[in-house]
Structure 1
Amino acid sequence: MKKKSFLKKLSLLTAAVLLFSAMTLGTVAEETYDYDMEYYSQLKDKDVTINVYNWGEYISNGDDDSLDVNAEFEKLTGIRVNYTQFDTNESLYAKLKSGGTTYDVIFPSDYMVSRMINEDMLEPLDFDNIPNFQYISEKFKNPSYDPENLYSVPYTWGTVGLIYNYDMLGFDPDSWDIMWDPNYAKQILQFSNSRDAFAIAELMLGYSINTEDTMELDQAAQLLKDEKPLVQAYVMDQIFDKMQGNEAAIAPYYAGDAINMMAVNESLRFVIPKEGTNLFFDAVCIPKIKEDTEESRLKKLASEMYINFLNEPEIAAANIEYIQYSTPNDAALQLLDEEVRNNPISYPSDEVLENTQVYVNLSEETNLYLDRLWTEIMSAEAGYNYWSMPLFLVGALALSVAITVMKKNRRRRREQFNYQNSQNNF
Structure 2
Amino acid sequence: MNAMKRVASLAVATAMVFAMGACGGGVSDSAQTGSASAATGDYKAATGGELHVYTWAGYMPDSVIKAFEKDTGIELTVDTFDSNEALEAKMKSTGGTGYDVIMPSDYMVKQMISEGLLLKFDTSSLPNAKNIATEFTSPYYDSDLEYSAPYIVGYTGIVYDSSSISAQDAPTSWKKFFSSSSSIGKAQVLDDQIEITNAALRAVGSDQCSTNSDDYQKASTLLDGFKSKVGVLSSEGVADRLASGEEKYGMAWSYDAYQATVSNPNLKFVYPTDGTSKFVDNMAISAGAENVSQAKTFINWMLNPKNKVAVEESGGAGSVLKGGNELLPEAMRKSNVIVPSSAELKTLRIEKACSNKVNDYYTQLFEDFRR
What TM-score, normalized by structure 1, do the two folds share?
0.73
CA contact (8 A) 2:29 2:48 kept: no
Structure with a larger share of its residues in helix:
1
Matched, 1:73 2:68: yes
Please tell me whether residue 123 in structure 1 is matched to residue 127 in structure 2: no
In 1, Cα distance between the equivalents of 2:67 and 2:350? 34
Partner of 1:97: 92
1:208-219 to 2 correspondence within 5 Å? 208-219=207-218
- Range that drifts further, 36-45 or 164-173: 36-45
The CA deviation at 1:205 is: 0.5
Tell whether 2:328 aligns with 1:336. yes
Amino acid at match of 2:356: E
Alignment correspondent of 1:191: 190
Letter in 2 for 1:197: I
Q: Corresponding residue for 1:309?
A: 301
In 1, the alpha carbon distance for the partners of 2:27 and 2:342 equals 39
Q: Which runs of 5+ in 2 are unaligned?
A: 1-10, 32-45
Paired residue secondary structure (2:208): coil
Distance change >3 Å, CA 173–CA 375, structure 1 → 2: closer
Is 1:140 the equivalent of 2:136? yes
1:41 and 1:263 mapped to 2: Cα distance?
43
Aligned counterpart for 1:174 among listed residues 172, 175, 184: 172
AA matched with 2:61: S
Shift of 1:72: 1.6
Deviations 1:129-155 (A, max 9, x none): 632111001221011111122111011
Higher relative contact order (CA 8 A, sep 6+): 2
User: 1:363, CA displacement in angstroms?
Assistant: 0.9
Aligned partner letter, 2:320? P
Taking structure 1 as reference, are residues 40 and 165 closer, same or farther at Cα in structure 2, changes over 3 Å only?
farther
Structure 1 residue corresponding to 2:79, chosen from 69, 84, 91: 84
- Does the residue aligned with 2:163 lie in a helix, a strand or coil? helix
Conserved? CA contact 1:43–1:79, under 8 Å = no
Is the contact between residue 316 and residue 329 of structure 1 (CA under 8 Å) also seen in structure 2? Answer: no
SS in 1 for 2:147: coil
> Given residue 119 of structure 1, which amino acid in structure 2 is its aligned partner?
E
Letter in 1 for 2:343: E
Correspondence for 1:205: 204
Partner Cα separation in structure 2 for residue 54 and residue 185 of structure 1:
36
Give the C-alpha shift of residue 122 in structure 1.
1.4
Kindly provide the CA deviation profile for residues 349-372 of structure 1, in whole angstroms up to 9, marking residues without a partner as x: 333222221122111222233223
Letter aligned with residue 288 of structure 1: A
Q: Tell me the CA shift for residue 60 of structure 1.
A: 3.0
SS at match of 1:147: coil
Q: Which amino acid aligns with 2:91?
A: L
CA distance in 1, matches of 2:196, 2:160: 17
Aligned-partner residue type, residue 199 of structure 1: N
Residues 302/327 of structure 1: CA separation in 2 closer, same or farther (3 Å cut):
same
Q: Structure 2: how far apart are the matches of 1:271 and 1:328?
A: 21
- Closer/same/farther in 2, CA of residues 147 and 182 from structure 1, 3 Å limit: same
Give 2:8's aligned residue: none
The number of equivalent residue pairs is 343
Q: Distance in 2 between matches of 1:139 and 1:182?
A: 39
Match for residue 356 of structure 1 among 348, 358, 368: 348
- Runs of 5+ consecutive residues of structure 1 not aligned to the other structure: 5-23, 62-67, 290-295, 381-426
1:8-46: CA deviation from partner (whole Å, max 9, x where unpaired): xxxxxxxxxxxxxxxx946x43xx546549867744898
Alpha-carbon deviation of 1:55? 1.5
> Equivalents in 1 of 2:119, 2:166: separation in Å?
50
Other-structure match for 1:112: 108
Specify whether residues 328 and 368 from structure 1 end up closer, same or farther in structure 2 by C-alpha distance, changes over 3 A only.
Answer: same
* 1:253-292 map, 5 Å: 253-289=252-288
Deviation at 1:3, TM superposition (A): 10
Q: Report the CA distance shift for 1:363/1:85 in structure 2 as closer, same or farther (over 3 A).
A: same
2:58 match: 57
Letter in 1 for 2:172: D
Q: Is the 8 Å Cα contact of residues 185 and 229 (structure 1) preserved in structure 2?
A: no
Q: Is 2:251 aligned against 1:252?
A: yes
RMSD (Å) for aligned C-alpha atoms: 2.8
- Mapped contact 1:129–1:301 kept (Cα < 8 A): no
Question: AA paired with 1:310?
Answer: M
Instruction: Measure the CA separation in 2 of the matches of 1:47 and 1:339.
Output: 37
Report the TM-score, using the length of structure 2 for normalisation: 0.82
Q: Which amino acid aligns with 2:109?
A: V
How far apart are the structure 2 equivalents of 1:146 and 1:126?
10
Q: Which has the larger radius of gyration?
A: 1
Deviation of the 1:186 alpha carbon: 6.2
TM superposition shift of 1:279: 1.8
Q: Greater shift after overlay, 137-146 or 94-103?
A: 94-103
SS of equivalent to 1:169: coil
In the alignment, structure 1 residue 367 sits paired with structure 2 residue 368:
no
Alignment partner of 1:377: what SS? Answer: helix
